[in-house]
Amino acid sequence: MASFKLLLLPGDGIGTEVMGEVTRLIDWVNGTGAASIETESDLVGGCAYDVHGEAISEDAMKTAHAADAVMLGAVGGPKWDAVPYDKRPEAGLLRLRKDLQLFANLRPAICYPALADASSLKRELVEGLDIMIVRELTGGVYFGEPKEITDLGNGQKRAVDTQVYETYEIERIADVAFDMARKRGNLVHSAEKRNVMKTGVLWNEVVTQVHKARYADVKLEHILADNCAMQLVRAPKQFDVIVTDNLFGDVLSDEAAMATGSLGMLPSASLGAADESGKRPAMYEPVHGSAPDIAGQNKANPIATIASFAMCLRYSFDQGALADKVEKAIADVLDQGIRTGDIAQEGCKIVGTREMGDAVIAALG
């Protein structure tokens, strides 16, 4: 039986509640005999700042490096709005991504048939929607230098964020996207802004070269990022895999998420490069935030975190069959008309965080 080490970082707000449902699923996995998952827990985000004065401690980072994967809940909240910029809750998340070299962010946008009417778009536009956004995660404007605010005097300041990409960064994220497409609909849209940005020119050039050299069997379409945003609202089902940079990926993945009905439904995976043994660093987290307004009230939707755990089973633990079961259980529960408040519909049974977890576990059989 395969054994794995999983670091749990519940974080802030509803993070602790939704992570609680993951711990119940871990017990289920261990009970199947298919795998053994050993867990450790630590702090990240605002709660880590309260204890350590940093958004993540050195000890927590050491544990993250040693683990087979990391599960993160959510970070942030108004309580920490005034902390120094480099110690803000989100700094813990960014450090995990950077230090673990998690360059590939996988953001699926799936519209379950039972939730098609919950989308802000018409049912016919989103029913059956299944998009994978592959976002470059460790380069671009979020990490480029210089990044500064300069006082120019006379009440004027200048802020600078630097958009930087090198060839290898684009090559490796393109490889992930094309490989993903081969297992899906065999179509990749590469989104950038080559008409106004030099990084977009390089992005287009490198993706084209990677496609020609290694993935000529996959259909490639280049699209400007602003047009991609428009098309996600106009006709989202035209897309299969979208590969894009850090900034545009942040925006486009949230837009695609809302087409499915709720941010509370969507998981994500952040992956690094595989070593010689095939092991790759990885972190899994829901797309939604810490939602401090409902924290501690048993109102949070745990499905995104549960689905993130299913991605962990699939991509880090090579337990595809168990991942399939978890994903099917989610669909079955939604088909039964069970809903948390964020996806409530007329005639459905409204439940809390714990009850939704109960329903998913019951559906696993």
Active site residue 284: no
Question: Is 204:222 a contact under the CB 8 Å cutoff?
Answer: yes
Active site residue 254: yes
Q: Which of 226, 318, 332, 358 is catalytic?
A: 226
> CA-based diameter of the chain, in Å?
69
Q: Which of 99, 175, 254, 318 is catalytic?
A: 254
- CA 242, 106, 119, 361 dihedral sign is positive
Residues 6 or more apart whose CB falls under 8 angstroms from that of 19 comprise 8, 10, 11, 71, 73, 305
What would you report as the CA-atom Rg of the chain, rounded to the nearest whole angstrom?
Answer: 20
What amino acid occupies position 296? G
Q: Which of 5, 99, 142, 219 is catalytic?
A: 142
Active site residue 99: no
Question: Is 3:35 a contact under the CB 8 Å cutoff?
Answer: yes
239 phi-psi bin (left φ>0, alpha ψ -120 to 50, beta other): beta
CA 174 – CA 215 distance, rounded (Å) = 10
Q: Which of 165, 193, 299, 315 is catalytic?
A: 193
Kind of pairing between the strands at 187-192 and 219-224: parallel
CA 363 – CA 310 distance, rounded (Å) = 15
CA 341 – CA 25 distance, rounded (Å) = 22
Active site residue 142: yes
Active site residue 212: no
Q: Which of 12, 250, 315, 325 is catalytic?
A: 250
CA 35 – CA 3 distance, rounded (Å) = 6
Catalytic (active-site) positions = 142, 193, 226, 250, 254
